[in-house]
Chain A
Amino acid sequence: MNWSWPFFFDYLTNGLMLRGAWTTIWLSVISMILGLGLGIVAAMMKMYGNTVIRYIAEFYIWLFRGTPILIQLVIIYTGLPQLGIRLNVIESAILGLALNEGAYLAEIIRAGIMSVDKGQEDASRAVGMTWRERMYLVILPQATRTIIPPLGNQFNGMLKTTSLASVISMEELMRNAQMLAQIEFRVLEAYSVAAIWYLILVSIWSVIQVRIEAHYEKPFGPAAAVSPEAKKELEKAIDKAGQA
């Protein structure tokens, strides 16, 4: 057997891996936010646009859900320059991941909007809200409740999907593990450490996800069944118990 614990522990906190993990985090967050924006726009276009706009949205969703993200990234980074469009590695990675994510989120967001009771649209129109006000104040906040859990799962996926950007030499966890593996040829140790870092990131996200879901569930869920007065009493009681 040729497994080296010293290398393993050294890699675990190696600067290259830490930088890679950090890159994975911000790349995921930025791509997710942009993807969310694209997804909302695409969902709106598909639901409320005229025929042409609807077809544009459907074409986008069809295209990016129908092709591997790996091909999308490679085309953006190495193919587009042929058309005179030159993007650097970071731009290409973010664009590819966001476009791909947006296509998936569009469907999730559309389902979320459709899950909002039809009476909510009536009620918001009856108090005189414009389309934008209805969307912004009433429909989207309620759609959020349905959207948040799958959105969280998508972000979990995004943390791992960013590893594909290593093929266009984006220096995130996967790519940095490759580089590390080539220095001492400690391949198993290097990739194991990368795997552990992904596990750490995904686990931290799971904890955050639970809290976010609880927050958006509050007006609807069983927690809401406790009246605010009762909750205050409860908090007071807990405080008192702490002081005693």
Chain B
Amino acid sequence: MNQQDLPAPNRRANGARTLGEPIVVIDRVQKSFHGNHVLKDVSLTVHKGEVVVICGRSGSGKSTLLRCIDQLETIDGGTIHAAGHLMGFREKNGKLVPLRDAQIARQQRDLGMVFQSFNLFPHVSVIDNITMAPVRILKRDKTEARNEARALLQRVGLPDKENAYPRQLSGGQQQRVAIARALAMKPKVMLFDEPTSALDPEMISEVLDVMIDLSEQGMTMIVVTHEMGFARAAADRVVLMHDGRIVEEAPPEEFFQNPRSEHTRLFLSKILSH
């Protein structure tokens, strides 16, 4: 892809965005796997309504960062505040005490996550994928939840798929259902981990369109992706991770035209040269 072919940045250029207060505050987070230091002192603040794109080469710790935010991994040091929660811990006499499973689950309900491999529930239909958590966990009224699920399916462009099983859908359709499933919990923040990396090229845009639409409606989003077109179109900030650290953090124009870090230049030259 050539840099000139990318769509022009629109959101920021239009001046339409006013950012709210911080909603995700990552403060000096450390994470190791068996002595492998994966996140090294990572700090990042995301404001309400903001779209932050995270990129960086494979193994740089992007997925781990998202998984730590959503408590799919436990952090070794630092703190993460998200959607009004101190994720994974509570403060007691100035000390951090780990939360129990059920309390972590409650925090996770305010964050939505979309995975590279979709991870839909294969044993239930599309609509049950979407209503399972609201109905079975939040004990919402079933008819109401189903109506909302239909509205969400409409929104992701799949109004006629409610009775299908996941395996009957294409990758792009599955990923849009996964987005609808996450939205059904009415999350305050959405996390996307390479949502289009497992898709055939012709399906990438149908998923990105849904995400752009979501960002335009004010959803706070942290998106790990190598789709630089999406970054230009929807991001307020682009972040580059390298070897467990954030090495660049800039608005898209600056990130692409005027990167300060050598790592960013190298990354961009690689990703834009094919």
Check if A127 sits within 8 Å of B168, measured CB to CB.
no
| Residue numbers in A under 8 Å from B136 (CB-CB) | 133, 137
Evaluate whether A123 and B185 lie within 8 angstroms (CB atoms) in the complex, with A128-B137, A129-B105, A228-B164 already known: no
| Residue numbers in B under 8 Å from A228 (CB-CB) | 163-164
Check if B124 sits within 8 Å of A219, measured CB to CB.
yes
| Residue numbers in A under 8 Å from B166 (CB-CB) | 219
| Bound-state Cα–Cα, A125 to B67, Å | 11
Query: Is B267 an interface residue when CB atoms closer than 8 A count as contact?
Result: no
B177-205 interface (Cβ within 8 A of A): 178, 181-182, 185
Pick the contact of A225 from B70, B101, B111, B168 — CB < 8 Å?
B168
Query: Is B80 an interface residue when CB atoms closer than 8 A count as contact?
Result: no
Check if A126 sits within 8 Å of B113, measured CB to CB.
yes
Evaluate whether A130 and B70 lie within 8 angstroms (CB atoms) in the complex, with A219-B165, A225-B168, A227-B164 already known: no
| Residue numbers in A under 8 Å from B101 (CB-CB) | 130-131
Check if B133 sits within 8 Å of A119, measured CB to CB.
no
Query: Is B117 an interface residue when CB atoms closer than 8 A count as contact?
Result: yes
Chain B min CB distance to A39 (Å): 20
Check if B72 sits within 8 Å of A122, measured CB to CB.
yes
Check if B123 sits within 8 Å of A125, measured CB to CB.
no
Pick the contact of A127 from B102, B124, B165, B181 — CB < 8 Å?
B181
Check if B108 sits within 8 Å of A127, measured CB to CB.
yes
Interface of A is mostly: helix
Chain B min CB distance to A134 (Å): 9
Check if A119 sits within 8 Å of B163, measured CB to CB.
no
Chain A min CB distance to B139 (Å): 12
A42-60 interface (Cβ within 8 A of B): none
A interface footprint on B115-150 (CB within 8 Å = 1, 0 otherwise): 101111111110000001100110000000000000
Pick the contact of A126 from B102, B124, B182 — CB < 8 Å?
B182
Check if A145 sits within 8 Å of B137, measured CB to CB.
no
| B102, B118, B181: most-surrounded residue (chain A CB, <10 A) | B102
Pick the contact of A123 from B119, B123, B137, B165 — CB < 8 Å?
B119
Pick the contact of A141 from B118, B123, B168, B181 — CB < 8 Å?
B123
| Residue numbers in B under 8 Å from A128 (CB-CB) | 105-109, 133, 137, 185
Chain B min CB distance to A193 (Å): 43
| A137, A141, A225: most-surrounded residue (chain B CB, <10 A) | A137
Pick the contact of B133 from A127, A145, A219 — CB < 8 Å?
A127
Query: Is B90 an interface residue when CB atoms closer than 8 A count as contact?
Result: no
| Residue numbers in B under 8 Å from A133 (CB-CB) | 105, 136-137
| Bound-state Cα–Cα, A128 to B182, Å | 10
| Bound-state Cα–Cα, A126 to B120, Å | 12
Check if B185 sits within 8 Å of A127, measured CB to CB.
yes
Query: Is A4 an interface residue when CB atoms closer than 8 A count as contact?
Result: no
| Residue numbers in A under 8 Å from B28 (CB-CB) | none
| Residue numbers in B under 8 Å from A138 (CB-CB) | 121
Query: Is A166 an interface residue when CB atoms closer than 8 A count as contact?
Result: no
Check if B168 sits within 8 Å of A126, measured CB to CB.
no
Check if A129 sits within 8 Å of B133, measured CB to CB.
yes
Check if B119 sits within 8 Å of A120, measured CB to CB.
yes
Evaluate whether A122 and B137 lie within 8 angstroms (CB atoms) in the complex, with A127-B185, A219-B124, A225-B168 already known: no
| Bound-state Cα–Cα, A150 to B208, Å | 43
| Residue numbers in A under 8 Å from B17 (CB-CB) | none
| Bound-state Cα–Cα, A207 to B8, Å | 64
Pick the contact of B115 from A122, A142, A220, A224 — CB < 8 Å?
A122
Pick the contact of A145 from B107, B109, B123, B178 — CB < 8 Å?
B123
Chain B's closest residue to A136 (CB) is: B136
Chain B min CB distance to A166 (Å): 41
| Bound-state Cα–Cα, A138 to B123, Å | 8
Pick the contact of A119 from B70, B119, B167 — CB < 8 Å?
B119
* 16 other A-B residue contacts (CB within 8 Å) besides A124-B121, A125-B71: A119-B115, A119-B118, A122-B72, A123-B121, A126-B112, A126-B182, A127-B181, A128-B107, A129-B105, A130-B101, A137-B132, A219-B124, A220-B122, A224-B165, A228-B163, A228-B164
A-B contact pairs, 24 of them (CB 8 A): A119-B115, A122-B72, A122-B115, A123-B119, A123-B120, A124-B121, A125-B71, A125-B105, A126-B113, A129-B137, A130-B105, A138-B121, A141-B123, A142-B122, A145-B123, A219-B122, A219-B123, A219-B124, A219-B165, A219-B166, A220-B165, A224-B167, A224-B168, A227-B164
Residues of A within 8 A of B (CB): 117, 119-120, 122-131, 133, 137-138, 141-142, 145, 219-220, 224-225, 227-228
Residues of B within 8 A of A (CB): 67, 70-72, 101-102, 105-109, 111-113, 115, 117-125, 132-133, 136-137, 163-168, 178, 181-182, 185
